[in-house]
């Protein structure tokens, strides 16, 4: 092998047997309790979260504690396993606060001093409590952290965070203030539900008006913890995007095989065959990119920031393209409220803004790969 | 018996002890390596292998490379190694395998492939080169024209498919032969391509006589034999391992870093998109390789060639634009016949032009997309109203 100016760390890009078992358990749970009709009905009710389903996934299967060491009440697994859970959640557009509570909030806490966060971390790892970071869903790794909340003294917090994902399902909010990181009971905040593009991930404006918080970390630790969590979140979001894209591809292939026009399956027309073959290529590539990010995060590789940026720069677009192809190749039915394609389109499009756009991540690639702008 | 990595290391050590690379002529070493079963370990014993898992070849190659042993210059004999050899192994008689495999692997006899014809490209099975049996002589007499033949001018042998029964439907009247490129009636002419050079040849076959002993597989079964060859072609095209920022993206990234005056915002966005896609393609190839090693081959292999063809074309196109005035120039249009094909060699203009072939050679991208759609996704096959028609009645 010739020398590369940018050496890459070796990665395990396959799924282990344990990971496949975990996938099977999550997939079977979601097939039973989270089919498209259920997701749509819940979304229409204005309360997409299903606490009973969360309990089975988080506590029953133990998915909430995958990133948490056993001594802190978790499963002591890694980003590789959490990525598999997210693939399945994406495949089902499941309206569960996994990315927010079990990845982002959990990663923030794991980067703090254990003595201060252990009790809350145990609650999250067991799934008994849900925690949402009070930051906009669009906040990206590598971007400046916004100063949204200020400490009026003694942990009395005031300020507003917009587009906070899953706040409605949260028991606790993690708040980054000028004086450090705070845990604030969701009941002490004013939550204004927003009307989200993605019906399966509720958004809220979180307003704190002299709310009392429990301090978990100093400002330096807090900012590093949030930055690190955003990196993990972005890397694992690629697996959710992979799951979305896979569902869209599988569903569309099944549809064009069965749908007849002009006395033949529409999937026998080369114009459609080629589009779907290209989409399959994109999905196969997205799998490699998403697995690479999960493995780099799991092993703490120094290559993780670049690998995550590559995965996000690539997988965002694949999920959106897959969902758009799904709508188009379903024809009229794909445009209806009744067919689930729109749930995937909305999730895919919202995910393309979450944790940094593809353009933002390409900018990070430019930095890491030393390809500077003019 | 299946050999283990440890046993292979012992065999390599024995080979190196008996034939120290420093004091052994290259040919002698290669012959000894072949006879020790270390040429291609997954081949049978006596034919250069040990019947070991293919994945263990890397163990042997690494040990030999570390010992400074000579190799068989695989780039020079790619068609023999990648296409002729697996087909010989699958369909050859014992005599054919013993006669041909060793000189093929050692590079003593270069092979070329006489498949495509001016009238049979994507529809290869429609080929019209005729082979007629002269029963008295026990020989076939071959007439026709082949095209896009790399190495024809250096090859000693060719794998050849020809029509032996025009009254049968096209797939059923084909027979597979091993053709002596030094036989009377074989004429090789360079075929100049858009890059200005002639990597390939046209081969005219006029009354070429091939002994029946050089037929590979039964008469009329040549299409099945050829499919083995073609499957191996796509595996070898998609199976290249490249480092991060290797391949086509390397010269563009270097030019971007070293020559700030060339940078524009529009080119920056395209460069980053392509850099990301090239890195993802590298990871996809790496994942495919890991699947093969783990014994779980995935269908992704069918896709790698499609991806690399598109990326090579887009990246080299970007490079010509990035270079500005320099992009108006071309290194040299003088007709030449290169020994090796190097997609990334020479200048940006060459890379741009040569990459145009990537979506045509070894199966056009359009045909490969059909294959992915049908074999991987299970979509309906293209209409085939020529399937049961006699070859002689096809439109041409």
In a domain, A69, yes or no: yes
Tokens (6 digits) for A353: 């803004």
Strands B174-180 and B215-216: what pairing? antiparallel
The verdict on A334 and A228 lying in the same domain is yes
In this structure, the dihedral spanned by the alpha carbons of residues A61, A62, A67 and A68, taken in order and rounded to 10 degrees, is -170
SS3 for A215?
strand
Option in B263, B379, B381 nearest A276 (CB): B379
Chain B positions touching A281 (Cβ under 8 A) are 303, 306-307, 372
Domain definitions of chain B by residue range = 1-71, 74-220+385-396, 239-363
Chain B positions touching A20 (Cβ under 8 A) are none
Tens of pLDDT, residue by residue over B268-324, are 999 999 999 999 999 999 998 888 878 777 777 778 899 999 999 999 999 999 999
Minimum distance, in Å, between the CA of residue B13 and any CA atom of chain A: 23
Mutation target among A280, A283, A306, A356 for the B interface, most CBs of B within 10 A: A280
Overall average pLDDT of the A280-293 stretch: 98
SS3 for A226?
helix
In this structure, the dihedral spanned by the alpha carbons of residues B345, B347, B351 and B354, taken in order and rounded to 10 degrees, is -80
SS3 for A307?
helix
The verdict on A210 and A227 lying in the same domain is no
Option in B287, B377, B379 nearest A288 (CB): B287
Q: Do residue A277 and residue B272 have CB atoms under 8 angstroms apart?
A: no
Vertex A328 angle, CA A327 and A329, to 5°: 100
Closest chain B residue to the Cα of A365, Cα to Cα: B272
Q: What is the pLDDT of residue B238?
A: 47
Longest dimension (CA), chain A: 74
The residues of B annotated as belonging to the active site are: 233
DSSP code, position B371? H
Q: Do residue A362 and residue B269 have CB atoms under 8 angstroms apart?
A: yes
Chain A positions touching B264 (Cβ under 8 A) are 374
The verdict on A211 and A91 lying in the same domain is no
List, as ranges, residues 240-299 from A with C-beta within 8 Å of B.
253, 256-257, 264-265, 267-268, 270, 272-274, 276-278, 280-281, 284-289, 291-292
> B88-94: which pairs have CB atoms within 8 A and are 24 or more residues apart?
B88/B216, B89/B43, B89/B44, B89/B47, B90/B225, B90/B228, B91/B176, B91/B216, B91/B217, B91/B225, B91/B228, B92/B216
Q: How many CB atoms lie within 10 A of CB A269?
A: 16
Chain A positions touching B283 (Cβ under 8 A) are 11, 13, 285, 288-289, 291-292, 310
Look up the CATH architecture of domain B74-220+385-396.
Answer: Beta Barrel (2.40)
How many CB pairs (< 8 A) connect A and B? 143
Q: Quick check: A323 pLDDT over 60? A: yes
Give the residue among B178, B158, B172, B78 at the shortest CA–CA distance from B125: B172
The verdict on A351 and A245 lying in the same domain is yes
| CATH at A116 | 1.10.540.10
Do A166 and A130 meet the contact criterion of CB atoms below 8 Å apart?
yes
Q: What is the pLDDT of residue A158?
A: 98
Minimum distance, in Å, between the CA of residue A253 and any CA atom of chain B: 7
Q: What is the pLDDT of residue A2?
A: 41
Q: If you search the block for the tokens 């290259």, which residue do you land on?
A: B26
Chain B positions touching A278 (Cβ under 8 A) are 369
In this structure, the dihedral spanned by the alpha carbons of residues A350, A356, A360 and A363, taken in order and rounded to 10 degrees, is -140
Closest chain A residue to the Cα of B261, Cα to Cα: A374
In a domain, A86, yes or no: yes
Q: Do residue B283 and residue A12 have CB atoms under 8 angstroms apart?
A: no
Minimum distance, in Å, between the CA of residue A370 and any CA atom of chain B: 7
Option in B273, B306, B366 nearest A281 (CB): B306
Minimum distance, in Å, between the CA of residue B274 and any CA atom of chain A: 10
Q: Do residue A277 and residue B287 have CB atoms under 8 angstroms apart?
A: no
The verdict on A324 and A275 lying in the same domain is yes
Option in A1, A13, A277 nearest B372 (CB): A277
Q: What is the pLDDT of residue A311?
A: 98
Strands (E), chain A: 131-133, 149-151, 156-165, 172-177, 180-185, 190-193, 203-212, 214-217, 260-261, 264-265
How many independent structural domains does chain A possess? 3
Do A312 and A365 meet the contact criterion of CB atoms below 8 Å apart?
no
Q: Do residue A373 and residue B284 have CB atoms under 8 angstroms apart?
A: no
Chain A positions touching B324 (Cβ under 8 A) are none
CATH topology of domain B239-363: Butyryl-CoA Dehydrogenase, subunit A; domain 3 (1.20.140)
Residue B7 CA from chain centroid, whole number = 31
Q: Do residue A374 and residue B378 have CB atoms under 8 angstroms apart?
A: no
Option in B241, B284, B382 nearest A284 (CB): B284
| CATH at A257 | 1.20.140.10
Do B70 and B21 meet the contact criterion of CB atoms below 8 Å apart?
yes
For A340, the domain range is 222-368
Q: What is the pLDDT of residue B362?
A: 83
The verdict on A214 and A232 lying in the same domain is no
The verdict on A64 and A124 lying in the same domain is yes
Closest chain B residue to the Cα of A372, Cα to Cα: B257
Q: Rounded CA gap, B39 and B85, in Å? A: 12
Task: Name the phi and psi angles at B93, rounded to 5.
Answer: -75, 165
Q: What is the pLDDT of residue A1?
A: 36
Q: Do residue B268 and residue A8 have CB atoms under 8 angstroms apart?
A: no
Q: Rounded CA gap, A197 and A347, in Å? A: 8
Closest chain A residue to the Cα of B295, Cα to Cα: A14
Assess A302–B contact: CB distance below 8 Å, yes or no.
no
In a domain, A373, yes or no: no
Give the residue among B30, B6, B16 at the shortest CA–CA distance from B64: B16
Q: Do residue A373 and residue B372 have CB atoms under 8 angstroms apart?
A: no
The list of chain B residues with pLDDT below 70 reads 1-2, 233-240
The verdict on A206 and A228 lying in the same domain is no
Tokens (6 digits) for B232: 């191996």
| CATH at A166 | 2.40.110.10
The verdict on A228 and A358 lying in the same domain is yes
In this structure, the dihedral spanned by the alpha carbons of residues B150, B351, B238 and B103, taken in order and rounded to 10 degrees, is 30
DSSP code, position A167? G
Give the residue among B311, B385, B286, B235 at the shortest CA–CA distance from A289: B286
In a domain, A317, yes or no: yes
Q: Rounded CA gap, B388 and B94, in Å? A: 34
Longest dimension (CA), chain B: 74
Domain B74-220+385-396 matches domain B239-363 at the CATH topology level: no
Minimum distance, in Å, between the CA of residue A35 and any CA atom of chain B: 24
The verdict on A311 and A190 lying in the same domain is no
Chain B positions touching A291 (Cβ under 8 A) are 283, 287
In a domain, A330, yes or no: yes
Minimum distance, in Å, between the CA of residue B90 and any CA atom of chain A: 30
Q: Do residue B268 and residue A5 have CB atoms under 8 angstroms apart?
A: no
Look over chain A and give the mean of its residue pLDDT values, rounded to a whole number. 96
DSSP string across B226-274 = HHHHHHHHHHHHHT----TT-TTHHHHHHHHHH-GGG--HHHHHHHHHH
Q: Do residue B256 and residue A371 have CB atoms under 8 angstroms apart?
A: yes
Give the residue among A48, A361, A41 at the shortest CA–CA distance from A203: A48
Last residue of a domain, one of A184, A199, A219: A219
In a domain, A102, yes or no: yes
Strands B111-114 and B157-163: what pairing? parallel
The verdict on A313 and A351 lying in the same domain is yes
Q: What ipTM was assigned to the predicted interfaces of this complex?
A: 0.96
Tokens (6 digits) for A238: 């690629």
Look over chain B and give the mean of its residue pLDDT values, rounded to a whole number. 93
Closest chain A residue to the Cα of B273, Cα to Cα: A362
Tens of pLDDT, residue by residue over B186-205, are 999 999 999 999 999 999 99
Q: If you search the block for the tokens 């050899």, which residue do you land on?
A: B85
Q: How many CB atoms lie within 10 A of CB A333?
A: 12
Q: What is the pLDDT of residue A133?
A: 98
The verdict on A239 and A340 lying in the same domain is yes
H or E segment and range at residue B189: strand B186-191
């Amino acid at each position: 092998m010739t020398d590369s100016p940018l050496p890459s760390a070796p990665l395990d890009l396959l799924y282990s047997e344990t990971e496949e078992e975990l996938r099977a358990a999550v997939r079977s749970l979601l097939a039973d309790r989270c089919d498209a009709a259920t997701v749509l009905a819940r979304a229409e009710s204005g309360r997409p979260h299903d606490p009973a389903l969360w309990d089975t996934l988080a506590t029953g299967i133990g998915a909430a504690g995958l990133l948490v060491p056993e001594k802190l009440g978790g499963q002591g697994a890694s980003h590789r396993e959490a990525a598999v859970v997210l693939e399945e959640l994406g495949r089902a557009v499941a309206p569960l606060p996994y990315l927010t509570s079990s990845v982002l909030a959990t990663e923030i806490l794991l980067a703090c001093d254990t003595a201060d966060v252990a009790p809350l971390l145990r609650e999250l790892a067991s799934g008994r409590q849900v925690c949402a970071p009070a930051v906009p869903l669009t906040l990206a790794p590598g971007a400046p952290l916004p100063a949204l909340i200020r400490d009026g003294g003694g942990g009395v917090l005031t300020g507003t965070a917009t587009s906070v994902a899953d706040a409605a399902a949260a028991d606790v909010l993690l708040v980054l203030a000028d004086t450090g990181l705070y845990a604030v009971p969701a009941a002490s905040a004013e939550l204004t539900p927003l009307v989200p593009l993605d019906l399966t991930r509720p958004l809220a404006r979180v307003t704190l008006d002299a709310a009392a918080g429990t301090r978990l970390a100093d400002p330096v630790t807090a900012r590093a913890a949030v930055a690190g969590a955003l990196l993990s979140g972005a890397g694992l979001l690629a697996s959710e995007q992979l799951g979305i894209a896979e569902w869209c591809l599988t569903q569309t292939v099944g549809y064009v095989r069965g749908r007849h026009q002009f006395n033949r399956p529409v999937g026998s027309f080369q114009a459609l065959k080629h589009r779907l073959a290209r989409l399959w290529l994109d999905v196969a590539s997205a799998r490699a990119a998403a697995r690479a990010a999960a493995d780099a995060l799991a092993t703490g590789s120094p290559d993780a920031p670049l690998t995550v940026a590559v995965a996000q720069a690539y997988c965002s677009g694949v999920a959106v393209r897959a969902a758009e192809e799904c709508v188009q190749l379903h024809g009229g039915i794909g445009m209806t409220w009744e067919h689930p394609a729109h749930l995937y389109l909305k999730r895919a499009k919202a995910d393309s803004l979450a944790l940094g756009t593809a353009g933002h991540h390409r900018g990070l690639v430019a930095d890491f790969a030393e390809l500077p702008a003019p | 018996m299946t050999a283990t990595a440890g046993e292979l290391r012992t065999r390599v050590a024995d080979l190196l002890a008996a034939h120290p690379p420093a004091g052994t002529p290259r040919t002698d070493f290669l012959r000894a390596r072949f006879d020790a079963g270390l040429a291609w370990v997954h081949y049978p014993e006596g034919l250069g292998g040990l019947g070991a898992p293919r994945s263990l070849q890397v163990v042997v190659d690494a040990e030999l490379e570390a010992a400074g042993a000579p190799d068989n210059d695989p780039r020079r004999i790619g068609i023999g190694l990648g296409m002729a050899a697996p087909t010989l192994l699958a369909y050859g008689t014992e005599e054919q395998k013993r006669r041909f495999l060793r000189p093929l692997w050692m590079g003593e006899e270069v092979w070329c492939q006489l498949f495509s014809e001016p009238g049979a490209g994507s529809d290869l099975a429609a080929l019209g080169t005729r082979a007629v049996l002269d029963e008295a002589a026990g020989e076939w007499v071959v007439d026709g024209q082949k095209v896009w033949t790399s190495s024809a001018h250096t090859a000693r042998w060719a794998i050849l498919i020809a029509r032996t029964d025009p009254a049968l439907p096209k797939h059923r009247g084909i027979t597979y032969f091993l053709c002596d490129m030094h036989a009377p009636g074989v004429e090789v002419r360079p075929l100049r391509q858009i890059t200005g050079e002639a990597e390939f040849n046209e081969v005219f076959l006029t009354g070429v006589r091939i002994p029946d002993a050089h037929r590979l597989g039964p008469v009329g079964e040549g299409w099945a034999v050829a499919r083995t060859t073609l499957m191996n072609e796509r595996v070898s095209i998609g199976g290249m391992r490249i480092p991060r920022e290797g391949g086509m993206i390397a010269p563009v990234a270097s030019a971007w870093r070293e020559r700030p005056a060339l940078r524009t915002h529009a080119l920056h966005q395209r460069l980053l998109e392509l850099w990301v896609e090239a890195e993802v393609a590298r990871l996809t190839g790496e994942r495919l390789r890991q699947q093969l090693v783990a014994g779980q081959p995935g269908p992704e292999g069918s896709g790698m060639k499609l991806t690399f063809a598109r990326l090579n074309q887009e990246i080299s196109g970007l490079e010509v634009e990035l270079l500005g005035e320099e992009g108006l120039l071309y290194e040299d249009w003088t007709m030449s016949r290169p020994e090796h094909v190097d997609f990334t060699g020479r200048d940006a203009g060459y890379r741009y032009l040569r990459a145009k072939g990537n979506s045509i050679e070894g199966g056009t991208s359009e045909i490969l997309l059909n294959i992915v759609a049908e074999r991987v996704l299970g979509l309906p096959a293209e209409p085939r109203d020529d399937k049961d028609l006699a070859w002689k009645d096809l439109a041409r």
